[in-house]
Amino acid sequence: MSRIVVGVDGSPGSIAALRWAHAEARLRRATLEVVGVWQYPMMTTVPAFGALPDVVDLSTQTEEHVLGVLRDNGVESTDEVPVSVSVAEGAPAQALISAATGAELLVVGSRGHGGFAGLLLGSVSHQCTMHGPCPVVVVHP
Q: Show the domains of the chain with their CATH numbers.
A: 16-41+52-84+92-139 (3.40.50.620)
CA-based torsion, 58, 59, 63, 66: positive or negative = positive
Q: What is the pTM of this model?
A: 0.85
What is the model's pLDDT at position 141?
84
pLDDT above 70 coverage of the chain, percent: 81
Q: Distance (Å, rounded) from C-alpha 20 to C-alpha 128?
A: 17
> pLDDT: is 77 or 48 the higher one?
77
Give the pLDDT of residue 106: 98
Residue 124: pLDDT band (50, 70, 90) is very high
